[in-house]
Amino acid sequence: MDNKAQLQRPSRHLFKSEKGIAYLSLLIAIAIIGIAATATVKFGTLVQRRYEEEQLLTIGTEFQSALISYANATPTGLSPYPMTIQDLIKDPRNPTVLRRHLRKIYVDPLTGKSEWGTVASMDGRGIIGIYSLSADEPIKVGNFDPPFESFAGKTSYHDWLFMIPVVIGNQ
């Protein structure tokens, strides 16, 4: 074999080395894409959960307002607290006047169900508050607006109670 033939033929060793570098580059690119995808999913989950928390605060405020409206519309001698959440939709205390304190039973944005936990009055004859049945840990644990300042530091959505202000003498 002469020297010209050796110079024209590519070295097999160099070719294998290039294959290894290309393969390694591909693995690194796949790893980077995987990390980026995971970060995107985690960020999306965080954004979704924050949105659900804001929805819970809005819906909880609606329930709280409905409980206050129900109490304010109480005829003399009757309990100012509804027996069920359904009583907020159609007030059963006066059959001739249809009064809606709440338009509908909202779906809990954290559980996806229209089931809520209820807080009973001290005498046990009505509901004075509601809360989410989600046991998850909240993302927001501080910097709440004034109506929700009591939610600061809570470790579960169960602890976010949307209640009517209770006056002990009225029970």
How far apart are the C-alpha atoms of 116 and 110, rounded to whole Å? Answer: 11
At 14, is the secondary structure helix, strand, or coil?
helix
How far apart are the C-alpha atoms of 128 and 117, rounded to whole Å? Answer: 11
What residues contact 73, with CB distance under 8 A and at least 6 apart?
91, 99, 101
Structural element, H or E, at residue 120? strand 117-120
Confidence category of residue 165, pLDDT binned at 50, 70, 90: confident
How far apart are the C-alpha atoms of 145 and 147, rounded to whole Å? Answer: 6
Q: With beta carbons less than 8 A apart as the criterion, state whether 134 and 107 touch.
A: no
Q: With beta carbons less than 8 A apart as the criterion, state whether 102 and 62 touch.
A: yes
Nearest to 126 by CA among 74, 72, 168, 85: 85
pLDDT in tens, 38-67: 888 888 888 999 999 999 999 999 999 999
Whether 162 shows a pLDDT value over 70: the answer reads yes
Nearest to 117 by CA among 108, 55, 69, 71: 108
Instruction: Identify the pLDDT of residue 3.
Output: 56
pLDDT in tens, 82-94: 999 999 998 888 7
Neighbour tally for 15: CB within 10 Å: 9
Token code pair at residue 120: 């009973």
Instruction: Identify the pLDDT of residue 166.
Output: 59
Percent of the chain with pLDDT over 90: 53
How far apart are the C-alpha atoms of 133 and 117, rounded to whole Å? Answer: 6
Instruction: Identify the pLDDT of residue 4.
Output: 56
Confidence category of residue 22, pLDDT binned at 50, 70, 90: confident
